Amino acid sequence: MPRRKNGATSAIREPDIAQADRFAQETLSSARAHAERCLADVIDYARTSPEKALLSAVAGGYVLRMLPLTRILAALVGVALLLLKPAALIFGVAKLWQKVQVRSLR
């Protein structure tokens, strides 16, 4: 546990923002690599069996046409915007907490 100037140990450990940033970058790069592999697999599948690929695309288009995509997308955007303010607040408080902890340990 980290020690303060007066020798007491703090019960709450501060979150490591740099580690969280690194985690987000690694997750995004991993997702990008996975998407590129999936795209390569789809292209390979379309080249090896174009009839099945065309039939799958038509069936997928039919299913997507039946879904209320505008309502689903509007709901997802609404939830994202609703959660954006608390997430920004929590991030700001975490950064402020990190700055205070760094200054108190000096």
How many angstroms separate the CA atoms of 22 and 51, rounded? 43
Map residue 17 onto helix, strand or coil.
Answer: helix
Task: Please answer whether residues 99 and 17 qualify as being in contact, where contact means their C-beta atoms are separated by less than 8 angstroms.
Answer: no
- Which pLDDT score, from 0 to 100, does residue 67 have? 86
pLDDT in tens, 18-53: 677 788 889 989 999 999 999 999 999 999 999 999
The answer, yes or no, to whether residue 9 has pLDDT greater than 90, is no
pLDDT in tens, 53-85: 999 999 999 988 888 888 989 999 999 999 999
Specify the range with the lowest mean pLDDT, choosing from 9-13, 72-76, 83-87, 100-104: 9-13
Task: Please answer whether residues 17 and 98 qualify as being in contact, where contact means their C-beta atoms are separated by less than 8 angstroms.
Answer: yes
Question: Which two three-digit tokens encode residue 83?
Answer: 């959660």
Map residue 12 onto helix, strand or coil.
Answer: coil
